[in-house]
Structure 1
Amino acid sequence: MASLTSNPKVQLAATAVVSAAVAAGAILSYQRLQQGDRVSRLKQSIPQPSDSETEPALQSVTRLGPLPKPDKEDEHNQALAHRAQNGDFDDELVLEQLARNRVFLGDAGLRALRDAFVVVIGCGGVGSHACAALARSGVERIRLVDFDQVTLSSLNRHAVATLADVGLPKVQCLQRRLVAVTPWVRFDLRLQKFEGSVAGLLLEGWEGDEGRRPDFVIDAIDNIESKVELLKYCHDQGLPVISAMGAGTKSDPTRVMVGDIGASFEDGLSRATRRRLKLQGVSSGIPVVYSTEKMGEGKAALLPLAEEEFQKGSVGDLGVLPDFRVRILPVLGTMPAVFGYVVANHVILKISGYPMDYQPAKARDKMYDAILAYVQASEEKIVRMIEGGRVDVCIGLKVPITPGDICFLVEEAFRGRSAITGIPTKLMLIRWKKPEGTTLVRIGEGNEEQKSSNLRLRDLVCVTKEEAVRHLKEVLLGDKSLEDLYSREVIELVEARQKEAEAYERHR
C-alpha cells in the first residue's frame, strides 16, 4: 500500500480526480447560484400590491357582474402574467419548468408545442383537465370557449376551480388559476355556447395572426347538437380535432380508448354522435376518446327526472339552455380527468410529432362479416323461392351491402339491439317485409351476366339469430304477416329505424 501511495503516477491520477470533482462541484454550485439569482430577481421585480388599481391580466368576459376583487396572490399572479406575456420573462426559466417535456419530446417537438394554437371548447370536467395539461406541457396560445359558470357541483371534477371560483365563468376560472402556473401562456376567452352559426368566429385565427388556423381543436362538449355541429365543421374545414365522448356513469379507467369515431362502441354519446354525423355524410376520420365499459347491475345510470319536474311543463324548457340535459348525470370525479388527460396527450403527441401506436379496441369486424354472410344466405333462399326453387339462379348472386353498412345498421340505426326483444347479443340482419315481386336484378347475358339482389338498407331489420330464423321461415318464406307475429309497437319501431337507414343511404 505504501508503495502505491508513493508512486508518482498514482499520486498524479488521484490529484486529477480530486481536482475534477472540485471543479465539477464549483460549476454546479455556480449554476445553482445563477439560477437562484434569476429566480430571486424575477420575484423581486414583480410589483407589490398596493391601494392603487393593478393592471389586470385577466380578460373580462362576462356581463354577469364585476370581476371578483383580486386578493394579494391574484395580484402577484396577474402582475407576473402581464410581464411574461409582454416578453419580460427569462426564457431559461420557462425551459427549466418544461425540462422534462423537453427531454421527452426533443427540442423540435417542444418548440412546435410552444408555437401551437389550440382551441378547447367545453371547459368543464374534461375540458379543464385537458387545458391544464396543455398549458403545463408548453402550449402558449389557448382559446377557451364555454358559456357556463363554475358551480358547487362541478368542484368534484374540475381541474383547478376552488370555492372562491363558484359563480365565475369557467373560461375565466381556468385563466385565473393557470396564470399562477404558466404566466407566459396567452388565453383568449370566449363566453359563448358553440353553435354552427358562430363556428367561423369561434375557430378564427389568433388575434394579430388571423391567417393562422388552430393547430388543434378539442371537443369537450356534452351537448349532442353542439358536438355534432363542431365535428361536422372541423371535418369540412380540415381542422384537426379530437372529441371526448361520455365520461358520465363510467368508472373503469382501463377501458378508456382512443380510436376513430367509426369504430367506437359501448358508448351512448359516441353512438348518437356517430349516427348523426353519418346522416350528414361523415362516417370516419375523427379521433375520439371513449370508454368500452358496459353498463351493468349496480352501476350508475342516468337518473330519471322527477315527476314534479314534468308537471312544470315542457321538459325541454327546464334546462339552462335549449337542448341541454336536465337530468342529473352521475359522474365519478376521476373519470373526466382521465378523459381530459387522454385528450391532451393525443394533442401533445400529434403537434410535437411524437410517434403514436395506439392499441386498437377489440374489433367487431368478424361479427359484421358473419352478419353479412347471413344476409347473403337469406337473400339466396328468397331468390330461390321466388324463382321456383332453382338452385343455379343464385350462383354468383351479389348483395349490395358492405360491412360498413352492417356496422351502421346494427350499431347506429338499431342501437346494437334486437328491434323485437331488445336483446343485444347474437345479432343478425334480415329483410323485414316479404317481397311482392322478384328481388333478382340481372345485367348482361351468358358468362358476362351479373346477378344481384335489389336489397336496400331500409329493407333490413336487426334481430337475434333465433328471431331471424323464425322470421325467415314464417314471414319471408311462409304465409304469415308482420301483424301476425309482432305488436304494433315493434312494427312502428322498425319503421322509424328504417327511416334513419333511408336517410343514411343518401350519403353512401
Structure 2
Amino acid sequence: MVVPSSEPSWTRSWTTFTAGVAVASSAITLISILGFQRFNRQRRRHELEDDIKDAMRKARNSSDNNDEQAKSLDRKSTKPHEAFRYDESLIREQLSRNYSFLGEESMQKLRDSFVIVVGAGGVGSWCALMLLRSGVGRLRLIDFDQVSLSSLNRHACANLADVGRPKVQVCKEHFANIAPWCDVDARVEIFRGSEAKRLLGPAKADPSKKLPQMQPTYVVDCIDNMDTKVDLLAFCYHNKIPCFSSMGAGAKADPSQIQVADLNTTSEDPLARRVRRGLRAKGIWGGDAEQAAKEADRAEQMSEKPYTIMCVYTNEKSDMRLLPLDEEEFQKGSVDELAALEDFRVRILPVLGPLPAMFGLAAATFIICEISGRQLETLPWKARRKTAERTWHELENTERKYPSPGSKLTAAEQGFGPRRIPWTAEDVAYVFEEVYRCRSVVPPHETLALGRLLRWDSTLPLSYSNVALFSREQGAVHEREVLKNGRSPVEVWGEEATRMFKRRMADERRMNVLR
C-alpha cells in the first residue's frame, strides 16, 4: 500500500528550484574567483616584465653615460699593482699563515717557483687559484676554451659577465685582485704534443719585474682529452719535468673515494688505466708496474730519484653516461663536426660542481708541499694492499678447507696446494672496500679495519654474487655454522643481514660492468 505524501507538490518543486539556484550561484562564484585570480596573475606578470625591461633600459643608459668611468674602475680593480706598490710587508702579511705552516725557507722556494697549469676548467682553475693564494711566484695558464653558462657550476673565478671570454684571461684578471705580485702568463691556446716544447718551455726574463728566465718547477695536467693528456705526460717524462695529473672528476659524486697516488698504483679508475696504456704505447714505464720497478732500481743505483707521475683520481663507479644528442643533429650529417676541435668529444659529460674543485684542491695541496720540501707520503688505495692480501689468503685457505659442493680437492692440495680462487688481492680489495664499503653484512654493520670475506651460501661456489664481509668474530661463526655444518645463512644471521647481502650484491652487479 502506497502512502501519499502529505507535502504539497509545489513545495517539493520550490525546494528543487532553490537547490538548483544555490548550485548555480556557487559555480558562478567559483568561476568568478578563478577568473579574478588569473587576471591578477597576468597583471603581475606584465608588471614584472615591464619592470625588468625598464631596469635593463636604465642599466644600458647608465652604462653608456658612465662608460669611461666603468672602464677606469675596471682597470683599477683588475690591476691593483698599477695603482699602488704592493710591498713586501703586505705580501708577507697576506701569506702569514703559510709562513707559519711551512717556514721561511720553504716559503721562499714556493715564491721562487714557476708552475704551468694546462687546462683552466673546473679542476685547473681551482688548482691555479690555490697555488696563487699559497704564494707561487709565477704561473702559466694554458687553455683554448671560453667560459660558458654551464661552466659556472664549477669554475673557480668566472661569473656571468665572463661568459664568452677566454678562461685563462678570466683567471688572470681575477688573480690580479688577489695576488698582484704573482706573474701570470695567460695563453689562449690548445695544448698539442707538437707544441709542447714551446708551451712548456721556460718563463722569459722580465728585468722590469726583476724576474729571471726560469724553467718550470712543476706542470699540472688538467686536460680532459685523452690524446693530449698522454702527449703532455710523455713530454714531461722525457724532459724530467715534475708533473701532476688529474684523472676524471666528471660524473662522480663521492668525495670519500678521492685519492692521491702514483699513476702506477691507481686501481679501479678506467681513465688512469687508459692513460697507462697510452704511455706504454709510447715506451714509457707509466703503464707497466714491472718496468717502473726496474726504472726505480736503475735510478737508485745512479743515486737519482725515480721519476713518478702523481695523480688525483677516484675509485667511484658511476653509471652516468655522456648526454645524448638530439635526433635532429644526427639527421643533419656527421655529428663529429659538432666538436669544438678535432678529436674532442661531441657530447657532454654530467658534472657535479664540487668534485672538480676537490680534485684541483688536492692537486694544489700536493704540489705546494712538494715544492716547499714538505714531501707527503700519500696513502693511496693500494697502500692497503697488505690488508687485502691477508684477507685474500684467508679466503683462499677457507676455500681449501671447505670447498663448494662439486669441486674436487686432492690431498696434496689440502692447505698448501695450487690457488683455488680466481681472484687477485685487488679483487678482494674491490669487494671489501667498494662493494661492502668496509662494513659487515651483519647488523649493526660495523665499519671494519680487518674483516673476513667468506661464501655466503655454502651450497654455491665462491663468486662476486656469493660472497659476504664479516668481522673476524662473525667470520669464525659463519665458517663453523654455515660452511662446516651446512646451516642456512638466513637461519644463522636473520632477515636483516640477508637483505643487506642482497643489496650489496645488487650494487656489485651494477659496479662490475663499470670496472
TM score, norm. by length of structure 1: 0.57
Q: 1:95 aligns with which of 84, 92, 95?
A: 92
SS of equivalent to 1:311: helix
Are 1:287 and 2:310 an aligned pair? yes
Equivalent in the alignment of 1:7: none
Higher helix share: 2
- Alignment-derived partner of residue 202 in structure 2: 205
**2:375, 2:79 → 1: CA distance?**
39
| Residue equivalent to 1:311 | 331
1:354 aligns with 2:374: yes
User: What code does the residue aligned with 2:178 have?
Assistant: V
Q: What residue in structure 2 maps to residue 344 of structure 1?
A: 364
- Structure 1 pair 102–466 and aligned structure 2 pair: CA distance change class (3 A): closer
Candidates 138, 141, 150, aligned match of 1:144? 141
CA 1:466–1:357 in structure 2 vs 1: closer, same or farther (change >3 Å)? closer
Aligned with 2:129 (options 115, 132, 138): 132
Tell me the distance in 2 between the aligned counterparts of 1:93 and 1:213: 27
Give the Å deviation of 1:273. 1.3
Shift of 1:351: 0.4
8 Å CA contact 1:194–1:226 kept in 2: the answer is: yes
Q: Structure 2: any 5+ residue segments left out of the alignment?
A: 1-64, 206-210, 293-307, 397-411, 413-417, 419-423, 436-460, 465-515
> For residue 241 of structure 1, what is the amino acid of its counterpart?
C
* Amino-acid identity (%): 43
Aligned to 2:266: 264
Q: Which amino acid aligns with 1:327?
A: R
1:144–1:189 CA contact under 8 A, matched in 2? yes
Partner residue of 2:238? 236
Contact 2:79 2:177 in 1 (8 A): no
- Whether the aligned pair in 2 keeps the contact of 1:204 and 1:210 (CA below 8 Å) is no
CA distance in 2: counterparts of 1:216 and 1:73, whole angstroms: 35
Unaligned runs of 5+ in 1: 1-50, 55-68, 375-390, 392-396, 398-402, 411-415, 417-423, 426-463, 468-508
Bigger Cα Rg: 2
How many pairs were matched up?
323
Q: How does 1:310-459 map to 2 (within 5 A)?
A: 310-362=330-382, 363=384
Assess if the C-alpha contact under 8 Å between 2:146 and 2:163 holds in 1: yes
Question: Who is 1:10 aligned against?
Answer: none
Deviations 1:260-281 (A, max 9, x none): 1112123232222122112223
In the alignment, which residue of structure 1 is the partner of 2:182?
A: 185
Offset, 1:314: 2.9
Q: Could you say which residue in structure 1 is the equivalent of 2:82?
A: 82
Calculate the aligned-residue CA RMSD, in Å.
Answer: 3.8
1:206–1:213 contact (8 Å) kept in structure 2: yes
**Cα offsets for 1:86-145 (capped at 9, x unmatched):** xx4310000000000010010111111111000000000100001110111101200010
Seen in structure 2, the aligned counterparts of structure 1 residues 312 and 366 have a Cα distance that, compared at 3 Å, is farther
**8 A contact 1:165–1:173 mirrored in 2:** yes
Q: Structure 2: which amino acid aligns with 1:81?
A: H
SS at match of 1:172: helix
Distance 1:79 1:215 in 2: 26
Q: Give the corresponding residue for 2:252.
A: 250
SS at match of 2:261: strand
Is the CA contact 2:120–2:142 (under 8 Å) kept in the aligned structure 1?
yes
Q: Deviations over 1:35-78 (max 9, x none)?
A: xxxxxxxxxxxxxxxx9x99xxxxxxxxxxxxxx9644422134
Show the counterpart of 1:226. 228
Question: How far, CA to CA, are the matches of 2:91 and 2:212 in structure 1?
Answer: 26
Aligned partners of 1:130 and 1:341 also within 8 Å: yes
